Amino acid sequence: WIQTSQQNRSRAPNALKCPQCGSAYELESDNPWILRLLDSGNKALSLMGRMVTVASVTSIVVSFGAGIYIVSTAYGAYALQEFLGKEMFDILLSEDPSNWPWHSFINLPLIPVGLIVSRLPFSTTVLPI
C-alpha cells in the first residue's frame, strides 16, 4: 500500500507518514542470511552477465572488422597482381605477406574501398579528381 500511495501524486508526500499522528514510518527488515547470500549472488551474476555481453559484442565487432580487413587486403593484392602482372607483382611485393613492407598493409585494403567509392554517385563531390 505504500508503493501504491507513492504512485498517486496527491498522496505521495504523505505516503510514508501515519495518517493519524503524521510521524514517519520506520521500516525494518531482517533479511535472513540465505536471502542476503542469494541477493549478493544475483548482483555478481548480473555484473558478470553485463561483462560477458560487452565482451561478446566486442569480439563480434572485432572479428567482423578483421574479416573485412583481411578480405580487402587479399583483394587489393589480387587487383594489384592483375593490374601489374605476375612478374612486376613479385618484384614489388611477393606471394608471401611476411615479406611485404608495412605500408602495403595500409595501402592494399584501400584499393577495394577506392574502387567502391569511385562508383558511388557522390564520389565527384568527395574526390574532385
Shared domain for 23 and 80, answered yes or no, is no
Handedness of CA 93, 97, 101, 103 (dihedral sign): positive
Q: How many domains in the chain? A: 2
Instruction: Supply the DSSP symbol for 25.
Output: P
Count of Cβ atoms closer than 10 Å to residue 77 Cβ: 20
Same domain, 13 and 71: no
Shared-domain flag, residues 57 and 97:
yes
Residue 18 shares a structural domain with residue 36: no
> Are residues 7 and 62 located together in one domain of the fold?
no
Report yes or no: 123 and 114 within 8 Å, Cβ to Cβ.
no
111 and 54: one domain? Answer: yes
Provide the residue-wise pLDDT of the chain in tens; the chain has 129 residues. Answer: 666 666 777 766 767 777 788 787 777 778 888 998 999 999 999 999 999 999 999 999 999 999 999 999 999 999 999 999 999 998 888 888 888 899 999 999 999 999 888 887 775 666 565
Residues of the domain holding 51? 31-126
Contact present, 24 and 33 (Cβ < 8 Å):
no
Domain match, 13 and 75 both: no
46 shares its domain with 21:
no
